[in-house]
Amino acid sequence: LGTVILAPTFLWQGVPRRSAFVRRYQGPPSAKEPAPEGSQYNCQEDGECVVEECPPAGCRNSLDVRMDDMWYDLSGWRKAHPAGKHWIDYYDGRDATEVMHAFHSAKGREMMKRMPRSKNPNELEAQCSPVTPLTRSFRKLRKKLEDEGWWQRDLALEARQWLIWAFVTGLGVACARSGGWPSVAGVVLLAL
């Protein structure tokens, strides 16, 4: 499922294009402002980010990633990312919206909203490939399905489906072992 979701995005990410279109969206109110000059964010594994003074060697370079039309500086989160820093590094200067929604829990997506914003979102938007109308339509559909609860587990439905599977498998095995024409029906039931 992840590769199907990511495939359309990869087609446009490799070629930076200039765009006169710049989004004015400033993100959720819970997003942190960029760190003041001479300081940087350091993020913990729980997603809490605190401002610290830069070491004498200087501040880290920003690591900017776009998610849901908002640019975040993930340089402070890079080393705390549970799946490894290589994933964050790969999306530097790119849109990671589909990856964020496909591979992260609701808790992880909420945590993302607390990350610090990038210092230069307009420059980043101009350098990044624009989001296509097809991708925007997909995001709208995903949001609608998520709001309708399509990704919520229904344990009663899962139990019912397992019981049906167990019944059909048991009946198929019993018929297949009986010999004669019921064995053909058993093979058909097992093939389902």
Can you give the pTM of this predicted structure?
0.59
Q: For residue 151, with 0-12 CB atoms within 10 Å meaning exposed, 13-18 middle and 19 or more buried, which class applies? A: exposed
Q: Name the band, by pLDDT with cuts 50, 70 and 90, for residue 31.
A: low
Instruction: Give me the chain's average pLDDT, please.
Output: 78
pLDDT digits (tens, 9 = 90+) for 138-182: 999 999 998 998 888 889 999 999 999 999 988 888 888 888 888
pLDDT tens across 44-67, in order?
Answer: 777 777 877 877 777 767 888 999
Residue 37 pLDDT more than 80?
no
